[in-house]
Amino acid sequence: MAKSTRTQSTEPPAKPSGPSGPSEPSEPSEPSEASEPSEASEASEASESIAPNAPSAAKSGGRRAYHHGDLRRAIVTAALDVISAEGPSALSLRDLARRAGVSHAAPAHHFKDRTGLLTAIAAEGYGLLAATLTDAADLKDAGVRYVRFAREHPAHFQVMFTPELLRGNDLELTTARALAGERLRDAVSAVPAEGRGTDARLAGVAAWSLAHGFATLLLSHNLDGPVGDQDPEEVFRLLSGLLFQGSS
């Protein structure tokens, strides 16, 4: 009669606990740096909050609604819309996050606070103004371009010249503002002395006052009657000729 074979387990038997009690619990591991939130993870969170049921970019082969780098632009664009419609006083970072479709904490990653956002908008505005004034044919053309900038970027224009809303020592802001001022001074300096007087600085103040005042009155609809259906830029060109006779 054949003997029955019995399979032996290869695993060693469990070691019974000793009289000293259970073993000491292991120390909890310290959280890794990766667990801390980052701007990249915030951007990812923002894209998921817009379309939580949408497939990921890896699965669908498409792009997410937002990707790292354009979240800042989305917040600025939403802020400009609010300023154009309701003015700077209506700005709220939480509301802007809702409008942009991101978490309420997302704007703070880029701008820290409301003042930081408005300062960034003003700095961007001065940069746009400097680019608009570059290569102006003469002082009249610089003034026309100034008015055009105000008409095309009314929200920027409103914030740029409201210093109490801004962080005045911000490097980006001061650099962009200085560049725009330099472009205006270049246009004034090109006018012959007999056309602007001996004090080029005062002539610059006069030219800026005319362009800025006209643009401000235009945007606030105080010139609707005098300008009527005329092209505002051509009206300003005529006015600037009355002030600076030698500015071609």
The answer for residues whose C-beta is within 8 angstroms of residue 9's C-beta and 6 or more apart is none
Whole-number Å distance between alpha carbons of 77 and 56: 25
Q: Supply 61's token pair.
A: 């082969």
Reply yes or no on whether the pLDDT at 229 is more than 90.
Answer: yes
More confident residue, 126 or 47: 126
- Identity at 12, one-letter amino acid code: P
- Length of the chain (residues): 248
Phi, psi of 192 (to 5 degrees): -55, 150
Reply yes or no on whether the pLDDT at 125 is more than 60.
Answer: yes
pTM of this prediction?
0.70
Fold for the domain defined by 114-243? Tetracycline Repressor; domain 2 (1.10.357)
Whole-number Å distance between alpha carbons of 190 and 246: 10
Q: Supply 101's token pair.
A: 């479709």
Whole-number percent of the chain with pLDDT over 90? 50
The CATH number of domain 64-111 is 1.10.150: no
Q: How confident is the model at residue 115 (pLDDT cuts 50, 70, 90)?
A: very high
Query: In angstroms, how far apart are the furthest CA atoms of the chain?
Result: 132
The C-alpha angle with vertex 34 and arms to 33 and 39, in degrees rounded to 5, equals 105
Map out the domains of the chain as residue ranges. Answer: 64-111, 114-243
pLDDT tens-digit profile of 66-102?
Answer: 444 588 898 999 999 999 999 999 999 989 888 878 8
More confident residue, 199 or 175: 175
Q: Give 159-167's long-range contacts (Cβ < 8 A, gap of 24+).
A: 159/83, 159/88, 159/118, 159/121, 159/122, 159/125, 160/122, 160/125, 160/126, 160/129, 161/212, 162/88, 165/88, 165/115, 165/118, 165/122, 166/115, 166/118, 166/119, 166/122, 167/115, 167/116, 167/119
Whole-number Å distance between alpha carbons of 51 and 71: 15
Distances (CA, A) of 151 to 3, 121, 214: 102, 16, 11
**What is the predicted pLDDT for the residue at 111?**
92
Most confidently predicted of 9-23, 29-43, 62-76, 214-228: 214-228
Reply yes or no on whether the pLDDT at 13 is more than 80.
Answer: no
Q: What is the DSSP letter of 65?
A: S
